[in-house]
Structure formats: C-alpha cells, structure tokens
A and B are shown apart, each in its own frame.
Chain A
C-alpha cells in the first residue's frame, strides 16, 4: 500500500495476482494500475487539491471519474430517480442544489451583468446594492425583468416577502451592471466594461446570463478568453450561459459565446427531475469549450420587477446565477479559494449526472453544507 503526500493510500495492481490480496482494496483509497501508469482513487476535495499540487510536474492529467452505462440500458445512478418540486419553504432549485446551507455568501462580492434591476422590489430593499449602467442613456432600472430574475436567484432573501425562498446567497454583496438594454440587446463593449468594473470592485464571482449563438466549429473569442484568464488571476470567476439554441433530441447546438471560452465556466440547464433541458446547448467536442456544470433551468421561480414581483422562467439564464450563488457560498466556506481554485471547488463538488459529459460537464452544482 502506497501513501502519498496527500494522505491517499493506494494499492498496487501487481499485488493482485493472488486473490487473497483483493481484500486490501477495501482498506485503501484506490489502486495504482502499474501497467497503465494510471491511478483510480477516491478522495475528498482537499485531498484532490493537494494531489494536484504535489503531482503538478509529474502527473499528465487528473480527471474526474465518469459513470458509464451500457448503451440502451436504463441508468441506475441515484440522481436519475430524483425529482424535486417547489414547496412552501423553498423552490425546487434550492432543494436540488442543497442551497439552504449554513453559508449565505456573507462578505463575498458577486456581480450580475444583465438588464439591470428593480431596486425598489421589496426583496432588495434590505442591504446596499452597488449598481452601474453601461448602456448609454439607460438607468439601472429593469423594465425587461431578466436581470431582476437572475439577481433574485443569486441573492434573494432568506425570508422573502412571499414564500417560498428562492435565493442562494442571501447575504452576498451584490453588484449590478446593466450591460443589456431594455430589449435585452447588448454589445461586447458594454459587457467587457461591466466585467472590468466587477473585477475592479473585487467581485469574486461574475454572473453572465447572456450570449450569442455561434456556428459549429467556430473558435472561441481570443479577447474574452484573455480577459477571463486575467480575471481568474485577479481572483474573479466568470460564469456564463451555455445557451438555449438546442431542440433535443433533434438538434444540439454548440455552447454560445462567451461561455465557450475555456476560462469561463459554462452552465447548462436541467429540470426538476434532473434531466437535461431540451434547449440546453452542449460541447461540440473541442477540448475545454463545452459545458462545465448544469444548474436548475426549468420553471425557476424568482423575483421580477413590480408590480408582478415573482415569476417562473426557464432557460440556461436562471441556471447561471444558481452556479454563481453556490460559488459565493464556496468562497465564504473557503476564504483561500479564488479564481481557478474556486472554479475547481465548484467542479469537484458537483453532483455527477448520468448524462454525457459534453451535455452536463461535472454535473449539478452543489452548495457546501
């Protein structure tokens, strides 16, 4: 049995030429397959992080293990038998992501780049919201409603004016950048200015439920990738929507710009039964340009501007602030984790789903408990 610097104990495959040695598998954390030069192991997130650090110069690649099934058979992964519904106390999305956590995002700055926000909504009047409109001639107000819905998912109150609870990081410090006009149109210039502003204000998480369709085979934006890479280095994690252009099973569209950038976390959508949403875009196969995670994206309840106050909406748009809110909770739970380290935490703690990795990435984002 080997033990490495991460505390993980591995059996050696050469030891299993005698059946009497198989019992030792249950005693360790995994097995080193000597003829393949690879190890399969199980560890907690801290051990995996430590493993990445101490093998940085020696390990070719460290990947999350996948769940495979025979083609055409009914998957028996526990997640597929799950089904959630809104209750009197919490929306189905909060339940599925375990977001009613002891963490609330306190002390974590999060930015929402969208159509603005209704600052007079009763669920946003407690606590300061820092806002700025990058759309020439527009105030931060949100006649469109999309931005208020996303902001609500990310930082709706623990005790909203009307139940059920729908917000993930109820105590996070909210920064709102209006980068889309009231018709939900926007330009790279305004969006990039919003990103610049969020980083300048020390936002650990930037939620972007926006994008534009790309043709299959299109390379990702070099500008956005460079900006996202710099954001990570500065401790800001950019999260964006994979897009809603698909009509599964007939057609699966590629992940949209800018979510198709490797350094931006790309989010797809699932429904209350954790099945992939029919509109959710997917990885084309190009390395690091696909879906990283999924979030709740069908009939997602949240705030909308007065007088309506609450509404359910569907899309990869609501899935993004779920992931962003969970990132804020993880940032609170792990003060040392920012940028790429925070992204790694999100991926490591996701609930693996039976879907192909190209469709659901690491799985459904899960909040720390």
Chain B
C-alpha cells in the first residue's frame, strides 16, 4: 500500500500534551519524523489506508498530505544589477514570453 507523507496539526486544547498525542498517532500508524512544538505540528508518513484512523486520533485537528513546491523562476527574467538601462517595454515583453506552467501536484 502507498505510504504518504503528512502534516498533522494538533488541536489548541492538546498542544500542552503534544507528545502524548504523538504517541497516539504512532499507535494509529504514523511514522513520526518531527515534532514542531512551537506551532503544534507533527510530521511523518502513514499508509494511505490509515489516514482516516489518524484523523480521528484525539487531539488531532487536521491531517494533510505533504506538498512539494517548485519555484518557477519567472524571476527567470534576469537582468543586470540595479540601475540597468533595459527598458520597461523590453522587460515586459520578456516576461510575457516566460510561459508559466501550472504545477498540478
């Protein structure tokens, strides 16, 4: 079965005992890799079939699949340093040519 990476947000009321909630999540199938205690998050992975069980662990607010981000550097239109004499029209024309691609993850 597919294993997916997840972010598990802990409910406000449970943040003071986040480590107990983490233990309960592990019992529900979470392979726990990190605890972000300042913001009340657990990171890890779980079998796709255990997602529902994980969401119902007491103290869990929400579970989301981890996203991957890729910077599409439209900022791909690079020029000389500050004070460059490239015209506004030239810059905008270059920007229009930089065809953006939707990241459909």
Contacts and interface: CB of A to CB of B under 8 A. Distances in A.
Interface residues of B, number: 46
A200 B39 CA distance: 9
Contact of B92 (A197, A215, A271): A271
B104 to A, nearest CB: 7
Given A244-B100, A247-B96, A315-B74, A273 B88 contact: yes
Task: Determine chain B's interface SS by DSSP, over half rule.
Answer: loop
B82 A222 contact: no
B39 A191 contact: no
A301 B73 contact: no
B82 A189 contact: no
A193 B83 contact: no
Interface stretch (B22-30, B46-54, B61-69): B61-69
B104 A210 contact: no
Interface residues of A, number: 66
A213 interface: yes
Contacts of A311: 78-81
Contacts of B38: 196-197, 199-200, 234
Given A189-B7, A223-B64, A279-B100, A272 B88 contact: yes
Given A86-B82, A196-B41, A210 B34 contact: no
Nearest to A222: B62
Interface stretch (A2-10, A99-107, A179-187): A179-187
Nearest to B87: A299
Contact of A317 (B33, B67, B75, B95): B75
B9 A227 contact: yes
Nearest to A93: B82
Most A CB contacts (10 A, CB to CB) among B7, B69, B80, B104 go to B69
Contacts, number: 176
A263 to B, nearest CB: 12
A271 B94 CA distance: 14
B68 A187 contact: yes
A311 B77 CA distance: 10
A309 B75 CA distance: 16
A146 B75 contact: yes
B22 to A, nearest CB: 15
B73 to A, nearest CB: 7
Contacts of B95: 277-279, 298, 314
Interface of A: 86-88, 91, 115, 146, 149, 162-164, 166, 180, 183-189, 191-193, 195-197, 199-200, 209-213, 215, 221-223, 226-227, 230-231, 234, 244-247, 253, 257, 271-273, 277-279, 298-299, 301-302, 309-315, 317-318
14 contacts: A146-B71, A164-B83, A185-B70, A186-B71, A192-B41, A212-B105, A226-B61, A244-B75, A272-B88, A311-B80, A312-B79, A312-B81, A313-B78, A317-B75
